[in-house]
Structure 1
Amino acid sequence: MSAHDRVLIGHGTENDFVVLPDPDGTAWPDQRLDAAVVRRLCERRAGLGGDGVLRVVRSEHVPDAPVVLGEALGSCEWFMDHRNADGSHAEMCGNGIRLFLHVLVTEGLLDRAACAAGVLVGTRGGPRRVGAAPDGGYWVDMGAARPFGHGEASLDGATFAGRAVSLGNPHLACLTDVDVDTLDLTTAPAVDPGLFPDGVNVEFVNVLEPGSHVRLRVSERGVGETRSCGTGACAAAWTALEAGGAATGTVTVDVPGGRLTVRVDERTTVLRGPAVVVAEGSLTREWLGG
């Protein structure tokens, strides 16, 4: 099996990814991993299928890493080169970065015990500390949620008021009394392009227990509906706490793909959840040349 065609498939609460191990940056450089190849990899009928692609690579081999990481570059040996299913670059993914660390551990590139206190990983949303939890899952310090206004999402003739929140990538978290399971998310919600010039992930959120438990579905930019969104879970938890008049708290977040936990304090937001590698294999010459 050549390193230049080796692939892994994995997920975090069923937010699934094609993972490309490329520690030395030689197997999948930018000129090979272009938008068209990403789209082919993520295609669920003609490709491997996934909500995105994660390239596991050292930061020194990522051309834009110095720009997005700044002074933190030297502290981030590893970089999560994340692409959306449409081929565009993504800033941050809470489910993806847990899977990213899990792959570093299972590939023998990092020792799990040494990750208990967390390691810094570079992303296009900046450095993020991610660590191995005692229960076998992983935690991510997502940074502070940064609200930047209010907006609306239009879906199937209805309008949903939402809170614009950044977790390194933009979100519109819409608390609603409409049962989220009844919504048709086969079409992306319409939003204000002035507020979201680069697109936005839209969360539709039912509050099950004020301040402690929510359920959500999400439409991710460049992907469509996914089974889970880690940054979206954080945005939803933060918005639910704010709506209840609280600045801190721990919120259980149910997504179609499982359950996540989000802790919000005065300084940051911490996401906890599982990560699983499902399979490994290699791309065939037939497919690569197709």
Structure 2
Amino acid sequence: MSSSPRVLIGHGTENDFVVLPDPDGEVWAGDRLDATMVRRLCERRAGLGGDGVLRLVRSAHVPDAADVLGEDLARCEWFMDHRNADGSYAEMCGNGIRLFLHALVAEGQVERAACTDGLLVGTRGGPRRVGAGADGGYWVDMGPARTFGEGSAELDGRTFEGVAVSMGNPHLACLTDVPVEQLDLTGAPAFDATLFPEGVNVELVNVLEPGVHVRLRVSERGVGETRSCGTGACAAAYAALRAEGVIEGTVVVDVPGGRLQVQVTPGTTVLSGPAVLVSAGELCPEWLRG
């Protein structure tokens, strides 16, 4: 490992990440970016602080890329090596992948003008096309939302019924009349481990205008409450449309960290929103030795 690896800090609607430029897989090769290092990086007092870590790396240098991408490996030059704040691997993140492309542009690895039609990026949830929007933000084709049952979450002394939605990662989207800003999300919601054996992201959703506008708070597995969740916004939009008996539409999703837009069609889901880099620097040798 370099004595002073470069590091970026950024966010998408305040869902924040430590970003590690490592295009040739030399800086964080092998087990150097292990769960302990991820937790240290994401620690908000003794580390840099973040909801997760994104490594900017070419797919050829990610050992499990071939397994998760299959025949799409050759089409995905870049791979979003994403870890949750607790060190676990994450399949997909809608806010993270927008920031991933923004960081690639800022690092001079790709030209923003060449990304209007999208760049195919590998993730552990499969390939995803992410592109630059005319408004300065970014969009990502998240793939279709898929339901796989119904369940409930226990939170703040209440039971919230919801629909299980896969966006490449598992969600429980719960529409509720309880104002979400009043809920205590300091503790993780209880859920059905049989339905969600690998854990679940739980969305608490207020419908502000049926099929058009919702407000969301989310507790993410391996992290806790975050200011935003891209895949969660997609699951919430899908659930809101489903409740109206429709299978397509565009939903504005307000999260504590800002605003996202989700376009749902029978074939796919497109998430749009901002991505911001906050700072760039180096990790100090004394911290790395700690």
Q: What interval of TM-score do these two structures reach, taking the shorter chain for normalisation? A: over 0.9
- Corresponding position of 2:199: 199
Change in 2 beyond 3 A, CA 1:111/1:101: same
**Bigger shift: 151-160 or 206-215?**
151-160
Cα distance in 1 for partners of 2:30, 2:146 equals: 31
- Corresponding position of 1:184: 184
Q: Deviations over 1:226-270 (max 9, x none)?
A: 000000000000000000111000000000000000000121000
Please show how residues 1-290 of structure 1 align to structure 2 within 5 Å: 5-290=5-290
Cα distance in 1 for partners of 2:156, 2:13 equals: 27
Q: What's the secondary structure of 2:127's corresponding residue?
A: strand
Give yes or no for contact 1:228–1:255 (8 Å, CA) kept in 2.
yes
Change in 2 beyond 3 A, CA 1:4/1:283: closer
Q: Which amino acid counterpart does residue 252 of structure 1 have in structure 2?
A: V
Cα distance in 2 for partners of 1:277, 1:81 equals: 18
Cα distance in 2 for partners of 1:4, 1:255 equals: 35
Give yes or no for contact 2:4–2:284 (8 Å, CA) kept in 1.
no
Cα distance in 1 for partners of 2:141, 2:65 equals: 19
Q: What's the secondary structure of 2:56's corresponding residue?
A: strand
The structural deviation recorded for 1:4 is 5.2
Give yes or no for contact 1:3–1:27 (8 Å, CA) kept in 2.
no
Q: Which amino acid counterpart does residue 136 of structure 1 have in structure 2?
A: G
The structural deviation recorded for 1:91 is 0.1
**How high is the TM-score relative to the length of structure 1?**
0.99
Identity %: 76
Give yes or no for contact 2:3–2:285 (8 Å, CA) kept in 1.
no
Q: What's the secondary structure of 2:191's corresponding residue?
A: coil
Q: What's the secondary structure of 1:103's corresponding residue?
A: helix
Cα distance in 1 for partners of 2:162, 2:190 equals: 12
Give yes or no for contact 2:130–2:138 (8 Å, CA) kept in 1.
yes
What is the aligned residue count? 289
The structural deviation recorded for 1:30 is 3.5
Q: Which amino acid counterpart does residue 135 of structure 1 have in structure 2?
A: D
Give yes or no for contact 1:4–1:27 (8 Å, CA) kept in 2.
no
Uncovered stretches (5+) of structure 1, i.e. residues with no partner: none
Uncovered stretches (5+) of structure 2, i.e. residues with no partner: none
Q: Deviations over 1:196-254 (max 9, x none)?
A: 00000000000000000000000000000000000000000000000011100000000
The structural deviation recorded for 1:156 is 2.1
